[in-house]
Structure formats: C-alpha cells, structure tokens
Chains A and B, each alone.
Chain A
Amino acid sequence: MNLLEISDLHVSYDGIKAVKGIDLHLEKGEIVTLVGSNGAGKSTTLKAICGITPVQSGKILFEGRNLRSIPPHLLVKQGIVLVPEGRGLFGRSSVEENLKMGAYSRGDSEIAGDLEKVYTLFPRLLERRIQAAGTLSGGEQQMVSLGRALMSRPRLLFLDEPSMGLAPIMVRKIFEVIQTIASSGMTVLLVEQNARMALSMSQRGYVMESGKITLSGASSSLLENPQVRAAYLGQ
C-alpha cells in the first residue's frame, strides 16, 4: 500500500480551476519531486492535501485513510508536516522557541533529545539559539523551518519551495540536509522550481503544468527528457 495516494484531485479558487484532476502517489521512504512553473498548481496541491485550501473533489488517502475528513491541525498527530512556502516562522520568538513549537503536539519525553539532533544537523542554529527567528538570514530561517518540522517527528514531510530566495551555497546545504533526512526513512514530497537540483536528488518526479500532471517517472529519465530539459533546465 502506498503511503499517500491521491486520485482525481480538483481544487478551485472562486471558480478558477487551479488543480484539474491529478493523480499522485508516494511510497514509503521515497523522495518525490513535483516540478512546474509559477502558477502550475504545485503549492495549491500541497495546501489541498493539508486541508488548508478546500478540495473540490477527489480522493486523498494516507495509509488507506481518508485525509479529507481530518482538520489541518490534527495532521501533525498523523505524522504529516508541511514546511510552508516562505518558511512561516514565528519571527519574534527565539530560534529555540520556534524549534520547541514543532513539538507542540507531542507529549513524550524525547523532545530534548530531538532538539539536540536538530542542533547537530544545523550547528548554526545552536549558535543562534536565543536570537529572534525573524532576524536570521534567509538560509538560516529555512534551517529553523526544517528543524521545526523535524521536531514534529513526521513520517511524511511536505516541502514547499525550500530553495526560494536563497543563495546558491545555501540551496546546496539545504538540499544536503533534505537528503540526510530522507535517508533516515522519512518520505518527502518536494515542490520546487529549481528542477535540476530537485530532480537530481529524488527518485521520482512529476511535472505539473496549468493544473495537470503532464509527465511523470523516474527522476533520472525526467532529467533526460527533452521536453523537461527545454522547459525547466534551460537546454
């Protein structure tokens, strides 16, 4: 059974169709990329899965259960975490407070240990522990956002444009960490405009264009695909 199974998903904003019947699935432990240009419906798809944007029709199954009946704030308990576009930090709170908020829905005793792990993953955040998250650089903020998501102990992680607005050196660093996370068995759905980077680190990919999935398959074959090369890799 697939971890996440989406079939015939339709989403629209005030009558404008943003997602026009897509099928998508994730197997446990995979990194899957969803690439596409601006306005293709990538973020809308993520928001719809997470219940932030209402779904018009279609099926969303997580481990066989219907996700559409679960309110967004209970998704964390199911093991699903979204790292929103633009990072969504609590800007006035300190880095550590932000990370701890990630464990808001947890009641176990391993939170302190997980905080240590996040600091090991991002030593930079340990240095910036007491600083207000809003004062960090873009890359550091993305680290906080990722770290905070990890504090929720997700089994399925949605990343919405983690490379947006970052310096190339930071992009590489963030992607390295995503790979480390995924190698521990977490399932990741990566929404990206940086198609080359995203496809080179994922196993499979979907290409989305104006609300529809036009191509899908192994990432390596998508990287070779002339259409993809022309449209997203500039070749």
Chain B
Amino acid sequence: MKKALKRGLYAVLLALLPFATGMAFGKTWVRILDFALLYVMLALGLNIVVGFAGLLDLGYVAFFAVGAYCYALLASPHFGLHLPFWLILPIGAFAAGIFGMLLGAPTLRLRGDYLAIVTLGFGEIIRIFLNNLDTPYNITGGPQGIDMIDPIRLGSFSLNQPTSHTVYSYYFLFLFFALATAFVSMRLQHSRIGRAWAAIREDEIAAEAMGINTRNVKLLAFAMGASFGGLSGGLFAGFEGFVSPESFTLMESIMILSMVVLGGMGHIRGVIFGAVLLSILPEALRYVGPIEQSLFGKIVVDPSSLRMLLFGLALILVMLLRPAGLWPSPARKRELLAHGETAKHENTNIYDAGR
C-alpha cells in the first residue's frame, strides 16, 4: 500500500514536471528535459555493455546514429518513404543491434584498453561513413544530413501539432520509453543473463567453467545495449526533424560514458541520475554569465568557455570524492567503501587460519 502511494506520487511528479518547468523557466528548459530523457535511455543502454558486462565501449554513439539514420531514411522525403514510427523504431533498434553484434564479434577476445580503442575506431568509422555516403549515390546526405524528417504520429495525431506543444508531447513519449528501458534493464540485471554478465565481468575463465557461453553472452550484451541506443536514435530523429553526422561525434560517446561512470556503473538508478545531471548541468552553467554580471558588474570570463571548464572540474571532483559514482550499486559500494554489516564481517577473525 505504501509502495503504491509512493509510486503514485512519483507518477504525479513526473507528469507535472514539464509544466512546472515550462512555467518557471520557459520552453527551452522543457526541451532540455526531453533531451535528458533521451540521454537516460542512451546511458541505460551503455550501462548494459559497460556496467553489467564490463566491456568498455567508447563508440556507443554509433548505435544512436544507426537508429537516427534508420528513422531519417525511412520517414522523410529523402527517399520518399514515410513509414509509421511504430514500425521504424523497432527496425532502428534491430539494425543497431545487428551493428552491435558486428562490433562485438571481432572484439570477443579483447578487454579493457584494447577493446576501448577498437570501439572508439568503430564509432568514428560509422560517423565518417555517414559523412561520405553522399557519393556516388546519395544515401545519407553527407555532411548536410537529412532534414524534413516526419514527426512522430500517434494515429492521425502528430506530436508536432500545434508547434507550441511539441516539447510537452515529446516529453511524455520519451518518458514512456525511458521508463520502459529502465524496467527492461532492471529485469535483465536480475535475470540469468544478468548474472552471466556479472560473472564474465569479474572472471571470464571462471564464468566459462560455470557453464556460461561467454561468446554468446558478450554478443548479447553488445546487441542489447546497441538496440537501446538505436531506439533512442529513432526518437531523436523524429523529435529533431533533422539528422547530420555532427550529432554523433566521439564527444557524445564520452559524454554518455561519463553519465554511466559518474552516476554509478551497473546501478540503474545511479545511471539515470547521472544522465539527468550531466544533461542538465552544462545547460545550467550557461547562467554563469548573468551571475558574473551581478557579482562583478561585468562579464569577467566568457561564460561559454568557462562552462566546460566548470563542467570538467565538477567531473574531476566527483571522481576524486566519490570514486564509485554519485549513487553506486550496493555491490560496488561494498567493494570500494565497506561499512556497516559488511565491514564488521571483514574485520572479524581475519587471522585465525586454524578454524
């Protein structure tokens, strides 16, 4: 009963949030909320690969791109195709999943730094392909990208009509998908597959000795993580109405990885928190300018350059002060900062080998 009440309260809060934000800070901030939700989906997807299976992926944005371009190609005047979104989103997620396996298959034997380098290369390859696939046949539109992408329509209702309500309707669509990905992540974590991921993260040979097919389980992690990315890519394309290779740079991959690490690798709530925080913080830091104005009477340092400096500083501080992330999972907390019941256990009778 109490749990239901708590859930109801969260639901009401989440439903009212965009309107309150819109009234207090204006539509720009509702749009930022929309993007925060997209980043939540991306971070949860990357969390499967990095947090659950322990495979460092620096090219994750490639799957976001695959999903976005899938949507753009299948629902825009570019090829004259106008498929409905409920058909394209699964296609995009599936295509991204295939790309995930394509990346996973050759890297099965790689770990850590080596894997990171290959995935980084993969992310760049996808971006460069998108940039150059306009000749000899114009497939991706090259650096210009693809525009006039169809908005997402529920039946005959377009989420872009009337224009002034766009950010609100997309908020609820994204909220639905973000909650769905969070739910799927949670179920995955405590499933047989989730335990297999945890096992290969910690010791691959032992995992194999326990009867885990490490090859398939790793490929599955890549594919699942990628399909989450593809899904949010599709939503992104429908929301923006425009895609170009510029949106899918290495910086984006690093940003998503920061969300996962900063929030608390492998901990779903932490990852969501990290994603929301890191997508809002750079925007909030735009207000440094007005603050400087009021403090010193003039703008001392250009806020646009100060913004990323402060952002970087914040990341460093968090990693120094909270190495396990802002909201770490119980297991990781146990590893890095033992206290309470566990610490008591660890400190008792360590040296009496005789028993």
Interface residues of A (CB under 8 A from B): 50, 52, 71-77, 81-82, 84, 88-94, 101-102, 104-105, 123-124, 127-128, 130-132, 134-135, 137, 139, 148, 152, 167, 169-170
Which chain B residues (207-251) contact chain A, with CB distance < 8 Å? Answer: 207-214
Which chain B residues (243-266) contact chain A, with CB distance < 8 Å? Answer: none
Q: Is the CB of B196 within 8 A of A104?
A: yes
Q: Does B198 sit within 8 A of A, measured CB to CB?
A: yes
* Contact status of A105 and B210, CB under 8 A, knowing A93-B198, A124-B355, A137-B353: yes
| Alpha-carbon distance between A29 and B207 when the two chains are bound, in angstroms | 27
| Alpha-carbon distance between A203 and B213 when the two chains are bound, in angstroms | 35
Which chain B residues (173-203) contact chain A, with CB distance < 8 Å? Answer: 192, 195-196, 198-199, 202-203
Q: Is the CB of B341 within 8 A of A72?
A: no
Interface residues on B, range: 20 to 34
Q: Considering only CB atoms, which chain A residue lies closest to B351 in the complex?
A: A137
Cβ–Cβ < 8 Å partners of A152 in chain B: 210-211
Cβ–Cβ < 8 Å partners of B345 in chain A: 127-128, 130-131
Q: Is the CB of A76 within 8 A of B211?
A: yes
Cβ–Cβ < 8 Å partners of B206 in chain A: 84, 88-90
Q: Is the CB of B209 within 8 A of A82?
A: yes
Minimum C-beta distance from A119 to chain B (A): 14
Cβ–Cβ < 8 Å partners of B355 in chain A: 123-124
Q: Is the CB of A52 within 8 A of B208?
A: yes
Q: Considering only CB atoms, which chain A residue lies closest to B196 in the complex?
A: A104
Cβ–Cβ < 8 Å partners of B209 in chain A: 50, 72, 75-76, 81-82, 84, 88
Q: Does B331 sit within 8 A of A, measured CB to CB?
A: yes
B212, B332, B346, B353: the one within 8 Å of A73 (CB): B212
Q: Does B281 sit within 8 A of A, measured CB to CB?
A: no
Cβ–Cβ < 8 Å partners of A104 in chain B: 192, 195-196, 199, 210-212
Cβ–Cβ < 8 Å partners of A167 in chain B: 353
Q: Does B342 sit within 8 A of A, measured CB to CB?
A: yes
Q: Is the CB of A84 within 8 A of B205?
A: yes
Q: Is the CB of B212 within 8 A of A139?
A: no
24 of the cross-chain contacts (CB-CB < 8 Å) are A73-B212, A73-B214, A76-B210, A81-B209, A88-B205, A90-B199, A90-B202, A91-B202, A93-B198, A101-B199, A101-B210, A104-B211, A124-B355, A127-B348, A127-B349, A130-B341, A131-B342, A131-B346, A132-B334, A132-B342, A137-B350, A152-B210, A152-B211, A167-B353
Cβ–Cβ < 8 Å partners of A52 in chain B: 205, 208
| Alpha-carbon distance between A137 and B334 when the two chains are bound, in angstroms | 17
Which of B211, B212, B355 has the most chain A CB atoms inside 10 A of its CB? Answer: B211
Q: Is the CB of A73 within 8 A of B208?
A: yes
Q: Is the CB of B202 within 8 A of A92?
A: yes
Q: Considering only CB atoms, which chain B residue lies closest to A83 in the complex?
A: B209
A81, A105, A124, A135: the one within 8 Å of B346 (CB): A135
| Alpha-carbon distance between A75 and B213 when the two chains are bound, in angstroms | 11
| Alpha-carbon distance between A71 and B195 when the two chains are bound, in angstroms | 20
Cβ–Cβ < 8 Å partners of A93 in chain B: 198, 202, 331
Cβ–Cβ < 8 Å partners of B205 in chain A: 52, 84, 88
| Alpha-carbon distance between A82 and B331 when the two chains are bound, in angstroms | 26
| Alpha-carbon distance between A110 and B213 when the two chains are bound, in angstroms | 23
Cβ–Cβ < 8 Å partners of B338 in chain A: 135
Q: Is the CB of B195 within 8 A of A92?
A: no
| Alpha-carbon distance between A104 and B199 when the two chains are bound, in angstroms | 10
Lowest 7 A-B CB distances belong to which pairs? Answer: A105-B211, A88-B206, A76-B211, A90-B202, A104-B210, A73-B213, A131-B345
Q: Does B302 sit within 8 A of A, measured CB to CB?
A: no
Which of A75, A88, A91, A169 has the most chain B CB atoms inside 10 A of its CB? Answer: A88
Q: Is the CB of A139 within 8 A of B195?
A: no
| Alpha-carbon distance between A130 and B205 when the two chains are bound, in angstroms | 23
Q: Is the CB of B211 within 8 A of A90?
A: no
Q: Is the CB of A89 within 8 A of B341?
A: no
Q: Mark B323-355, 1 if CB is under 8 A from A, else 0.
A: 000000001101100100110011011100111
| Alpha-carbon distance between A139 and B354 when the two chains are bound, in angstroms | 10
Minimum C-beta distance from B197 to chain A (A): 11
Minimum C-beta distance from A139 to chain B (A): 6
* Contact status of A88 and B203, CB under 8 A, knowing A93-B331, A101-B195, A124-B355: yes
Cβ–Cβ < 8 Å partners of B208 in chain A: 52, 72-73
Q: Mark B293-325, 1 if CB is under 8 A from A, else 0.
A: 000000000000000000000000000000000
| Alpha-carbon distance between A56 and B343 when the two chains are bound, in angstroms | 49
Cβ–Cβ < 8 Å partners of A90 in chain B: 198-199, 202-203, 206-207
Q: Considering only CB atoms, which chain B residue lies closest to A149 in the complex?
A: B209
* Contact status of A130 and B342, CB under 8 A, knowing A81-B209, A104-B211, A124-B355: yes
